[in-house]
Structure 1
């Protein structure tokens, strides 16, 4: 917040530290879909400090500066944006990093900042709702809505017209192991939901298999008798899991030899018809739920990848990218929604 007639306050200048941090987090979200919680702690501390500082400045000024310019937008920021972030995380619409990022923004930008750059005063456009974090959120939503349109245009330009053209694109099977997102191809066509590719990597690492090895002998690996007696750590399914972990199976230097391909486990052999690919055995053995993946989803995804050359995948929604874009737009312009309507 900047009081009438004043230039940018120290709290507003401190808030600019969010720009490089959110830029890094957006790049990290695209590349790995993982952002450490430790990233948000320093920003939350800065946000809490600047919030108190702004409150002290406004309280000293009194009148509308204290009530309308500070208390009202701060109440909207903390009382509306924070619950929205928590609700969408709880419903599964946001990842944990997305929700934490919005919580940090609610602390960092409860009120509209003001910066003078030469003859310009930024942001150039205001809004009746003076909660700046809400402006960032609404900008991020508008940017996020543009992504499906861009995907559809890209697919249509390439002659790829399909029900899932708004949420994904086709890739060769070789690229699946290095890609984050969701497999949309199914044995019967395409679907808007499917196998989480992180869960696929967890399965392949658990078995000590590469996707190429699985494709070379699908009939063999459908049999649960080929499951390893001592499975590898499944990791969390990230593409970049560490220097000793391959993107799609086992550890560096290990391969299908780690599986007990010559095992004669009677129980597993009898279970072959009931548990193709050992999907249920995998989910029972690991800790957690593999991102909510079911045994049937895993089996269907493996059937597709075992034989199909090109599959449809959805890159998912790295929401920190629209959030960063929404932050930049908010600082330079203001509220896109209000600017569009007015």
Structure 2
């Protein structure tokens, strides 16, 4: 047993507890920038591997039940949760940072604190977690289910926020109204024009990469063609003409609001001033030799053909529809789409302090 003031537990337990604030900082950064550099997860993963090595030695020395529990929980955490994160990323439900975060958690938090040797983690005399244990004693899996529980509560919290501000609409559970001139500084996805039902809008919260026009893609488009949203609104007919596209498009960047951050797996944008100047630049003069049979409103198809990648799953039709609305409507509903790291961090704190939120809820309802 390791004693540190009012806190006691095994050394791996205490080191894992010390990493919780790190995830809090990362969640806050993800809210502000929606960008987490992939190198961030390397030291946390290495720490998890090191702690697994220490606990392996302890469990192997104890043998018997301790060794079997260690092998089982580690196998489920690393084998199942890592595979689940990869599958979600492959299907497009998770971004790269989301998948890496879950994989890191699987390695760093395979088991509840103190399961080796019967020791417990105690803070000021209170044993944690204080709630009922999960049916499967794998901490990373509990963190994931807790994150899902927070995600389920999010539409209700969003509706309460909108209701308090007087924004009562059937969209109040999935989005917030944003004035057009705030869009260039806003994270999220542009909600569809209203032809889709509430079920499909809720899908944007569960499967955010598959629905709506990502506002990062809008920023990429504006930077690529060297124009601001205000300029498009001032003369939409001109900018709808694909002949107004610049002869030499600018670097679209990755669409980040804050350009002075590294992209997920990419490099920081160093020449911020240069990009800002490109955004303010005038498009090239229209070419009168336009072939009417090749009309491409807004140059959306040309933009997607020219850039690397898919601009967050954007299609030419979706980009055209979004630009039509951005240049004609004063207020637009945007799905803020909380970064996955936020419910993960809340789920992590809840797992350490309470345990499994879903098990607790089912117990309150008398279902378990």
Structure 1 pair 42–254 and aligned structure 2 pair: CA distance change class (3 A): closer
Q: Distance in 2 between matches of 1:55 and 1:189?
A: 53
Q: Distance in 1 between matches of 2:334 and 2:294?
A: 28
Aligned position for 1:252: 276
1:140-195 CA-partner distances (Å, limit 9, x unpaired): 11011111111122223444343432211111001100011111143868973321
Give the drift of 1:256: 5.7
Instruction: Establish whether residue 115 from structure 1 lines up as the match of residue 121 from structure 2.
Output: yes
2:130 to 124, 134, 137: 124
Query: Aligned partners of 1:271 and 1:288: how far apart in 2?
Result: 28
TM-score where L is the length of structure 1: 0.90
The 1:188/1:211 distance shift into structure 2, 3 A limit, reads: farther
Match of 1:335 in 2: 356
Match of 1:228 in 2: 246
| Residue in structure 1 matching 2:215, options 197, 222, 236 | 197
Counterpart Cα distance in 1 of 2:196 and 2:143: 38
Alignment-derived partner of residue 175 in structure 1: 182
* Coordinate RMSD, CA, aligned: 2.4
**Aligned counterparts, 1:27-42, within 5 A:** 27-42=28-43
Which runs of 5 or more residues in structure 1 are unaligned? none
CA distance in 2, matches of 1:22, 1:35: 11
The corresponding residue for 2:264 is: none
User: Could you tell which deviates more after superposition, 234-243 or 278-287?
Assistant: 234-243
1:160/1:255 Cα in 2 relative to 1: closer, same or farther (>3 Å)? Answer: closer
Query: How far apart are the structure 1 equivalents of 2:103 and 2:233?
Result: 44
Aligned residue runs from structure 1 range 20-169, under 5 A: 20-68=21-69, 70-113=70-113, 114-125=120-131, 126-169=133-176
Question: 4+ residue stretches of structure 1 with deviation over 4 A?
Answer: 187-191, 243-246, 254-257
Distance 1:102 1:170, change over 3 A: same
- State the partner residue of 2:257: 239
Greater RCO between the two (CA within 8 Å, min separation 6)? 2
Q: Which runs of 5+ in 2 are unaligned?
A: 3-7, 114-119, 202-210, 261-269, 364-368
Q: Deviations over 1:81-109 (max 9, x none)?
A: 11221121111111111111111111111
Q: Does 1:9 align with 2:27?
A: no
Relative distance call for 1:188 and 1:332 in structure 2 (3 A) is: closer
Residue-pair matches, total: 332
From the superposition, tell whether residues 337 and 131 of structure 1 become closer, same or farther in structure 2 (CA, over 3 Å).
same
Provide the TM-score with structure 2 as the length reference: 0.84
SS at match of 2:276: coil
